[in-house]
Every structure is written in structure tokens, then in C-alpha cells.
Amino acid sequence: MSEKTPAKSSKTQKAYARAGVDIDLADSIKGGLKTTLTRASRPEVLGKAGGFAGLFDLSKSKYREPVLVSSVDGVGTKLKLAFSSGRHEGVGRDIVNHCVNDIAVLGAEPLFFLDYIGMGKLEPSVFQGVLGGMGKACREAGCALIGGETAQMPGFYRPGEYDLVGSVVGIVEKKKILTGKPIRPGDKLVGLASSGLHTNGYSLATRIFLTKLRFRMDDRLPGSRRTVVSALLEPHVNYAGLFHRLLEKYNSGTRADTRKDNGIFAAAHITGGGFSGNIPRVLPDNCDVDIDTQSWPKEALFEILATQGGVAFEELYEVFNMGIGMVLIVSSDAAGDVVRSCRRAGRRAWVIGEVTSGKGAVNLR
């Protein structure tokens, strides 16, 4: 007489929940994702929410020689501020906008985004806040939030903490990839204003503001109308839409790797590594850039870091974006018009430097 396999019961599920993984709660929360995913979608998305993988019909694209462009990143220690303040939507926007900007500098249009959230205990309000922020950022970027993974790992994370990672896939016409190849001495650097620290430098910035200077989270930031926590948690700017409009206006050439009929030759997203770590990534080997650090106004956050943080001048521009979230390298003839176009679109911009002969260095003055 064979032994019968015990039927699955609510006791099995409750035992797993007691161990820290609540499958019923996860299914209930994920069931509400359909609206978020539907709002942050594109016509190329196939299938329905909740499948094992996302489907995207690339045959519908308008590109003749399509090249897929991908990037993956995290939010880093900015998450600590989200934990302590209970504000989670902003970091959801951060992870999308950071990734989208990383592919935009190559001229790529974002197609779809995937996320990973790992936490010890699934907290519905936290999950919904993060996903709501991601959905909003994807809609603004014209990017589909196609799926992701939520992992409950009790004992792995501290109570109230989680990790957040995102990945974006975009597309660009092969001949339109921005390589930086046409850059030459005399070209100008146009800096686009950041909204704050974005997603980098938080280990140092929070130590300065909260430990060295002893600010409390709800203190008013000197020289600003915002509180310390609001200034530090301000979401990362999405530059992609503006940048693509600039490319349409100033780059009418058939290829992006020549100067003919083009005014924008490269762009650098100022993230981890600051100016010195990111601008050289798009420079030809025979070019340097000189940056006038007095050519744009610094918001209170950066003024405090510079004057009270105890950080050397060069390191400020290696760790922080210092108020510039993206740098465009453009022809000297187009520089003024590009700045005006940015300002008309509501994004502050300035000519902040020039390309010179050299070996790929960033010179600050």
C-alpha cells in the first residue's frame, strides 16, 4: 500500500510566512501591478503582466540598422535616506532615470526597463512607493516597465532595508551612435543642471551633513527653502527627452561620427567619478577639456559641501556632480544655441568649458 503525499494546506503556507516569506502577501501586492505596468508600456510590449519573462516585439521598430544598448545600475547608499525618512518613491525614479541617462548619451532611445528589489520582509507601502516611482519615471521616459523580481530574504537584510537594482535596454540607429570621434580642440562643453546629488557621493555627503555638521533631517538647509532630507532625496533628473530633441535639432548629418551637418558630438552623464571619471570616457586620445568651475551657480547643497565639508577642491569634482548632471560636447558655433534651447525647455544650462589639445585629461580651474 503506497504512502499518500500530504495535500498542500494553509499550514504549509503559514509555516513559510512564519519563517519570514509571505507568499500570499506577495501575490496580493503583485496582483496590483497590472495598472502600473499598463501605464508604463509601449505598443511593442507583448503578453500580459505576471509572466515568467517580458516580451518585446523589436520588428515594430523604425530603425534600419538597429543596435541594442543596455545598462544596469543601483541607487547606492542614497537608499539609507529612503529607509530613515520613509520616502521611497524618489529612489524608484532615481533608478530608472540613472539607467536611461546612461544609454541616452550614446543617442539611444529607451525601450524597456526591468527591476530587482530584495528585502527581508515585504512591506506593501514600501513596495508600492518604489514601484510607483519607477512607473512614473518610465512613463516620462517613454519606456516600458516590462517586469522585474521581488525577493523576500528574511535575515539577509536589516529590518526596514532593501536593495534596488535596475536595467534598461534601448535602441539606436548604428550610424547615429555618438562616439566622440569628431571632437576637436575648440569645441565647447555645455553643462546641464542637476537636481542635486542625483545618485552618487552619498556615503561622503551624508557623513558631512549628518555627522560632521550635525544637521537633522528636518532642518532647513542654509541658503535654501528645502529641508536637508528633501535636498538629499531630490530625484535624479531624466535628460533623455531633452537630449533627443537637441539631437534632432542640431544633428542632421547622416552619420554621427563626422562633423558634417552635426553640432553635438558627445555627451557624458556625470555620475560616480564626477567630471574627471566620466568626461574622459568620450574624449579622443588627443584631447583634454578645461572646465571653468565658476561658470555656473552652485546651489546651497554644493556650497556647503565645498565650504564646510573639508573636501579638497579636486575631490569635490571627482565625487560629486557639483550641480552639473550631464555635459554635452558641441561645436563652438552651436554652443550658444544649445544653451538657449535647453533653457527654453526648462533646463538650466551653461557653457562651462572648452576642448583643448592633450591626452584625455580634465583640467579644473
Q: Which has the minimum average pLDDT: 5-14, 51-60, 107-116, 351-360?
A: 5-14
Q: Are 314 and 362 in contact (CB under 8 A)?
A: no
Residue 356 pLDDT exceeds 90: yes
Residue 166's DSSP bridge partners are 73, 115
Are 207 and 255 part of one and the same domain?
yes
Handedness of CA 193, 194, 200, 204 (dihedral sign): positive
d(CA 209, CA 261): 47
Q: Say if residue 202 is in the same domain as residue 156.
A: no
Last residue of a domain, one of 114, 149, 175: 175
Mean per-residue pLDDT, 213-225: 94
pLDDT at 5 exceeding the cut of 50: no
- How many angstroms separate the CA atoms of 300 and 165, rounded? 30
What is the domain-level CATH number for residue 343?
Answer: 3.90.650.10
Residues 169 and 60 both lie in one domain: yes
pLDDT at 116 over 70: yes
Rounded CA separation 274/279 (Å) = 8
Residue 62: per-residue pLDDT: 87
Is pLDDT of 4 > 90?
Answer: no
Q: Does 351 lie in the same domain as 210?
A: yes
Instruction: Indicate the pLDDT class of residue 14, thresholds 50, 70 and 90.
Output: low
- Number of separate domains in the chain: 2
Interval 35-94: pLDDT, tens: 666 677 788 888 776 677 888 888 878 899 999 999 999 999 999 999 999 999 999 999
Q: Is residue 9 part of a domain?
A: no
232 and 195 in contact (C-beta within 8 Å)?
Answer: no
Residue with cell 512591506: 123
At residue 1, the pLDDT reads 39
Over residues 74-91, the pLDDT tens digits come to 999 999 999 999 999 999
Tens digits of residue pLDDT in 335-346: 999 999 999 999
With respect to residue 5, please indicate whether it lies within any of the assigned structural domains. Answer: no
More confident residue, 267 or 152: 267
Average pLDDT of every residue of the chain = 90
Last residue of a domain, one of 175, 204, 224: 175
Q: CA geometry: angle at 196 spanning 101 and 301, to 5°?
A: 160
Same domain, 125 and 192: no
Determine which helix (DSSP H) or strand (DSSP E) holds 190, and give its type and residue range.
strand 188-193
**Residue 62 φ then ψ, to 5°:** -90, 0
Rounded to a whole number of angstroms, the CA Rg of the chain reads 23
Q: Mean pLDDT across the stretch 100-113?
A: 97
Q: How far is the C-alpha of 280 from the C-alpha of 355, rounded, in Å?
A: 11
Residue 239 φ/ψ, nearest 5 degrees: -95, -5
- Across the range 168-195, mean pLDDT stands at 97
b (16+ CB within 10 A) / e for 292-324? ebeebebbebbbbbbeebebeeeebbbbbbbbb
Place of cell 540607429: 173
- What is the pLDDT, as a whole number, of residue 50? 64
Residues 158 and 199 in one domain: no
Classify residue 296: in a domain, yes or no: yes
Residue 10 domain-assigned (yes or no):
no
How do beta strands 162-173 and 324-330 pair?
A: unpaired
Tell whether 183 is covered by a domain. Answer: no
154 domain residue, yes or no: yes
For residues 167-179, average pLDDT: 97
Residues 137 and 206 reside in one and the same domain: no
Taking only the tens place, the pLDDT of each residue in 310-334 is 999 999 999 999 999 999 999 999 9
In a domain, residue 14? The reply is no
Q: Within this chain, do residues 328 and 248 fall inside the same structural domain, yes or no?
A: yes
Sequence-distant (6+) residues with CB within 8 A of 344 are: none
Residues 195 and 292 in one domain: yes
- Percent residues over pLDDT 70 in the chain: 88
Q: What is the CATH classification number for the domain harbouring 147? A: 3.30.1330.10
Domain boundary at 143, 175, 207, which?
A: 175
Q: Do 160 and 242 fall within a single domain?
A: no
| φ, ψ for residue 66, nearest 5 deg | -70, 135
* Cell numbers given for 12: 504549509
Q: How much is the pTM?
A: 0.88
The predicted model gives 287-309 an average pLDDT of 96
User: Is the domain of 303 the same as that of 218?
Assistant: yes
Question: Residues 135, 257: one domain?
Answer: no
DSSP conformational letter for 165 = E
Structural domain boundaries, residue 27: 19-175
Q: What is the pLDDT of residue 74?
A: 94
- Is 35 inside a domain boundary? yes
**pLDDT tens profile 224-268:** 999 999 999 999 999 999 999 999 999 999 999 999 999 999 999
DSSP state of 50: T
Exposed, middle or buried by CB within 10 Å (0-12, 13-18, 19+), for 206? buried
